Structure 1
Amino acid sequence: MTAEGVTASGLLGELADVGRDRTRGGYSRHVFDPAEQELRDWFVEQAGRRGLDVERDGNGNLWAWWGEPGPGAVVTGSHLDSVPGGGAFDGPLGVVSALSAVDLMRARGTSPSVPLAVTVFAEEEGGRFGIPCLGSRLLTGSLDPATAAGLRDADGVTFAEAAQAGGLDPSRLGADPDRLGRIGRFVELHVEQGRGLIDLGSAVAVGSTVVAHGRWRLTFTGQGNHAGATPMDDRRDPMLPAAETVTSVRRIARAHAGTRATVGRLTPTPGGTNVIASAVDVWLDVRGPAARSMVADVEAAARAAAEEEGCGLAVREESWTGEVVFDSALRDEVSALAGGVPALPTGAGHDAAVLAAHVPAAMLYVRNPTGVSHAPEEFAEDSDVDAGAEALATVLEGLCR
């Protein structure tokens, strides 16, 4: 039990009914939507119970401070949003574990000698506006604020409009060097997105690397028309080259060692059952050392398919993060403080990976026995959740001395 009388697994249980997706299963919690806002309100209330001073920056990130904000701070936290139909652990586990770690430190009689903050980053998954780690990218200046402001969700709402509805001033979006400069070291706890810890027989690991990864949008354009009145030989149907491209992705990825590629979203316009589409958007997620080379091969195949159907093709890179190698000194220190836990690479992106280009950053992973993530079957045992919070508290104690 913590000083608040609730374990990390208990805190996570308090969120179990927020944002349930009755259609997809799992959870759909997207930045500034009612479910994510409810989680934000819960976080602010929980931080207040612990005497932490909460502030929201111009990019929608939340910061709960133990001690006076200032340079050299140790910061921990994660995000509260999810992918569509995601699991219960991805994001919130890192937030509840950070709050639990504060309780555990107090229960042990520990008080940080440097400022300590628990943070919640906005739109980590990109589930609403398409670009992952939006809050941390804006904070660090790696994303142009005008580009972010103009992003649109599936309903045509811009990020600027959603931010304003959420109480932010869109003119304040963008790099925040003063706030970034406060961070001395950053540690993010996350559920493992894979099954490395099952094979290692450990409840907790420290992160070593994040593979290079990016997202691309391929837009096929043709001629919209009537499904029943248009002869087959008179069609310029963009769905055909889109479909050929989707099926080519796995074949091309297999030719690039260590590369993982996914088409998880395809949207026709206008999207009617009895309408030949005028355009089809295909989103491609590619990760690995040969990611850019693989995308070039996919684009070549897509152009050939589009030309055969008399269609056009536009390709846009929506996000890119090169390989991240976490600060080796901090990684080793975190591992030692956590009891000599093993190090793991990951193919999943995180806010810690964005921050790692600017400040020493580290990751802690909690065992996921299913090996499944970004789906309702994502899981962690209560005992492992609580072990992760205990490890995080011990790490923070060491870093805050």
Structure 2
Amino acid sequence: MKSVIPVQLSNRLSNGYLIIYSFVWDTKSSSPADRENAVKDLPLNPSADRLATDLVELSALSDRDQPGWSREVFGEPYREARTWVARRMQDAGLEVSSDGAGNIVGILAGNSPGAPPLVTGSHTDTVAGGGRFDGVVGVLGAIELARCLRESGTKWTRDLVVVDFLGEESNDWGLSCLGSRAVAGELSAADLSRVDRAGVLLGDRYQQFDLSVDSVLSADWLRERRPHAYVELHIEQGPLLERRRAQIGVVTAIAGIQRLVATFTGRPDHAGTRPMDDRRDAMVAAARAVLAVQQLGCGAPTHGVTTVTNLDAGTASPNVVPASVQMKMEMRSIDRSWFSAAQQQLVGDIAEQAAREDVDVDFIWTNDNEILDTTLAVQNAISGAAENAGRSWVAVPSGATHDAVHIAGICPTGMIFVPSKDGRSHCPEEWSDVEDIAAGVEVLGRTLAQLDRAEKVT
């Protein structure tokens, strides 16, 4: 008996009418090339108008007391936005729920519900003073993909799981990607014991957001289900695609992130009476450290960067020589050999400069995430999907971290970038053209369709 899979194709004409064609794949008699051509010919026409409407509506749910489109994790605008996202998922035909870690999950059922699912999504929280596209494009794009599949009557073998991960951005507890860490089984009780600047425990903040500590720590459902693959659509947040005039970025690696807190301890003195050559000025030592950080980054290989993000003297007195200064910095790279050597070099350079000022310095390093190489088979699926869609593409690394870093621990993972105007991100000027976003959704759909047919992704 022949095994057949029903497939429906649709073309939406300019006058708005929808014409539907139907045929079947004979999975035993058809060749791989035949099935490849069938997927290539599947019409997938994301609506730029719908995406634009969704972007406008979601961006309105932001904190008006802050600049830009601020929607920080656990805030009320974020709570409102997540209700909106759940409703949009339902409207697109997804079966929607919220897991114990606060992730919003929508499922479009496939023909084989027990098969390892395909997963896509991103996040809808922002940094303070952020933009309208970072993370949001991946969530709204996935919802638009679900709409397209329903409208064309296309049903894949595997479930399509769309996730709006909770709290991807850095926060006052110093821990990014809260939701994806949780579902990957990487969030610990020690993490929930972190405190913010006001002394509030992360676990308590979850409770205030109607999420119990126990449910957060046991929300590793995605790890248990072992997805077939995860593909995340995102804005590039950098200038490479625009400079190379490419419509699609195939992400090859996501940078590792090491963060440093350096505390400089000198001696307090009267700023008007202590001679300049007899001071132990912690601020001067910290200033020299800032320049050392910049110099290290300027000498880094391609895609290596270093940034001082904060200096805190702990006092506002204008007539006291600073006795204690805390410097926070981070370094990012996809080059493992440079990463390790650069940490040692930086510590040595900062200690040497501090000694010149007779200032002591202590170092605390933390690892936000390791360097991640995305799965080669997923990279190939994305590039092939881009070519099938007639979209230009280039291979690019990601200097920003993403939920994909943590999902990569449980299944094959890849990312699709669309261009960012002038490479701007994490600011109100962040912008991606809706036509580019629609192109990204098309490539996302074709990529997942190809992966759906693969018995295994390695």
The answer to whether the superposition gives a TM-score over 0.5 is: yes
Of 405, 410, 417 in structure 2, the residue corresponding to residue 358 of structure 1 is 410
1:392 corresponds to which letter in structure 2? L
| C-alpha distance in 1 between matches for 2:271 and 2:193 | 34
The Cα of 1:16 is off from its aligned counterpart by: 2.3
Given that residues 122 and 164 in structure 2 are in contact (C-alpha distance below 8 angstroms), is that contact kept between their aligned partners in structure 1? yes
Give me the whole-angstrom Cα distance separating, in 2, the residues matched to 1:108 and 1:21: 39
CA shift, 1:245, in A, is 0.9
Match of 1:32 among 64, 74, 77: 74
Distance 1:39 1:87 in 2: 15
CA RMSD of aligned residues (A): 3.0
* 1:132 aligned to which of 166, 176, 184: 176
Residue-by-residue CA offset, 1:216-273 (whole Å, 9 max, x unaligned)? 2223345668767988778655333222211211112233433210112333325566
- Amino acid of the residue matched to residue 51 of structure 2? A
Q: What's the offset of the Cα at 1:381? A: 1.1
- In the alignment, structure 1 residue 313 sits paired with structure 2 residue 361: yes
Q: Which is further off, 41-50 or 187-196?
A: 41-50
Q: CA deviation at 1:363?
A: 0.5
Distance 1:273 1:171 in 2: 48
Partner AA of 1:319 in structure 2: N
Secondary structure of the 1:263 match is strand
> Does structure 2 retain, via aligned residues, the 8 Å contact 1:29–1:36?
yes
* In the alignment, structure 1 residue 327 sits paired with structure 2 residue 375: yes
What's the CA shift for 1:75? 0.8
Contact 1:140 1:355 in 2 (8 A): yes
1:7–1:386 Cα contact (<8 Å) kept: no
Structure 1 unaligned segments of length 5 or more: list them: none
**Structure 2: segments with no counterpart, 5+ residues:** 1-11, 13-44, 454-458
Change (3 A) 1:135 1:278: farther
Alpha-carbon distance in structure 2 between the residues aligned to 1:177 and 1:75: 15
How do residues 366-385 of structure 1 correspond to structure 2 at under 5 angstroms? Answer: 366-385=418-437
Residue aligned with 1:77, SS: strand
Summarize the alignment of residues 24-103 of structure 1 with structure 2, pairs less than 5 Å apart.
Answer: 25-67=67-109, 72-103=116-147
Which amino acid in 2 is paired with 1:151? R
Deviation at 1:169, TM superposition (A): 1.1
User: What CA distance in whole angstroms lies between the structure 2 residues aligned with 1:154 and 1:220?
Assistant: 20
Q: Secondary structure at the match of 1:264?
A: strand
The aligned runs of 1:1-400 (5 Å cut-off) are 7-20=50-63, 25-67=67-109, 72-143=116-187, 145-174=188-217, 176-182=219-225, 183-222=227-266, 236-258=280-302, 259-270=304-315, 279-288=324-333, 289=335, 290-309=338-357, 311-339=359-387, 341-400=393-452
With a CA cutoff of 8 Å and minimum separation of 6, indicate the structure with the bigger relative contact order: 1
- In 2, the alpha carbon distance for the partners of 1:313 and 1:176 equals 40
Tell me the amino acid that sits aligned with residue 325 of structure 1: D
> One-letter code of the match for 1:285?
E
Return closer, same or farther for 1:101/1:286 CA change in 2, 3 Å cut-off.
same
Matched to 2:399, the amino acid is G
Question: Could you tell me how far apart the structure 1 residues matched to 2:114 and 2:199 are?
Answer: 39
Give, in whole Å, the separation in 1 of the partners of 2:297 and 2:50. 43
Question: Kindly tell me: are residues 271 and 37 of structure 1, through their superposed partners in 2, closer, same or farther at Cα, counting changes over 3 Å?
Answer: farther
CA distances 1:354-389 after superposition (whole Å, capped 9, x unpaired): 222321111111112311222222211121122222
Letter in 2 for 1:334: I
Distance change in 2, residues 1:140/1:237 (3 Å): farther
Q: CA deviation at 1:177?
A: 4.7
- In 2 relative to 1, CA 271–142 (structure 1 residues): closer, same or farther, beyond 3 Å? farther
Give the secondary structure class of the aligned counterpart of 1:28: coil
Write the deviation string for residues 39-86 of structure 1: whole angstroms up to 9, x where unpaired: 212112212323423333333322222238755111111011222322
Per-residue deviation, 1:304: 3.3
| Partner secondary structure for residue 406 of structure 2 | helix
TM-score by length of 2: 0.77
